[in-house]
Chain A
Amino acid sequence: MEKIKFILFESFISFKRYPIYSIISSLTVSICLLLISFIFYLSNVSNNISDNFKSNESVIDLYINNSLTDIEGNEICLEIMDNLNLTKITFVTKQNLLNKASLNKNLKKWLNNDISFAPCLCSLNIIEGSNAIEIINIIKKTYSDKIFKISYPESYILKFDKFITSIYSFIFIIGIILIVVSIFNISNIIRLSVETRKNIIETLKLHGATNSFIRAPFVIEGLIQGVIGALISNIIIFIIFNLITLDNYNHFLINSFITTISFNLYFFLNIIIGSLLGFIGSNLGTANYLD
Chain B
Amino acid sequence: MIQFENVTAKRSDTKGIYNISFDIKKGQFVYLMGPTGAGKSTIIKVIQKSINIESGSVIIAGNNILDLKQNSLAYYRRDIGMIFQDFKLLNDRSIFENIAIPLQIIGCDHKTIENKINSILSKVGLLDKKNVYPNELSGGEQQKVCVARAIIKTPKIILADEPTGNLDPSASDDIINLLEDEAKKGTTIIMATHNYPLIEDRIKHFIEINDGRLIK
Contact = CB atoms under 8 A, between A and B. Distances in A.
A and B are interacting partners: yes
A208 B71 contact: no
A206 B110 contact: no
A207 B107 contact: no
Contacts of B90: 199-200, 203
Interface in B78-105: 78-80, 82, 88, 90, 92, 101-102, 104-105
A204 B105 contact: yes
Nearest to B84: A206
A128 interface: no
B75 interface: yes
A207 B81 CA distance: 7
Contacts of B101: 203-204, 207
B92 A2 contact: no
Most chain B CB within 10 A, of A17, A200, A208, is at: A208
B109 interface: yes
Contacts of A211: 74
A267 interface: no
A217 to B, nearest CB: 11
B132 interface: no
Interface residues of B, number: 24
A2 B110 CA distance: 8
A208 B75 contact: yes
A178 B105 CA distance: 39
A210 interface: yes
A6 B75 contact: no
A208 B48 contact: no
Contact of B74 (A6, A199, A203, A208): A208
A173 interface: no
Interface in B44-97: 48, 71, 74-80, 82, 88, 90, 92
A209 interface: yes
A13 B1 CA distance: 40
Contacts of A199: 88, 90
The 10 closest A-B pairs by CB, nearest first: A208-B78, A208-B77, A210-B74, A207-B102, A6-B104, A209-B105, A3-B107, A2-B107, A208-B74, A206-B82
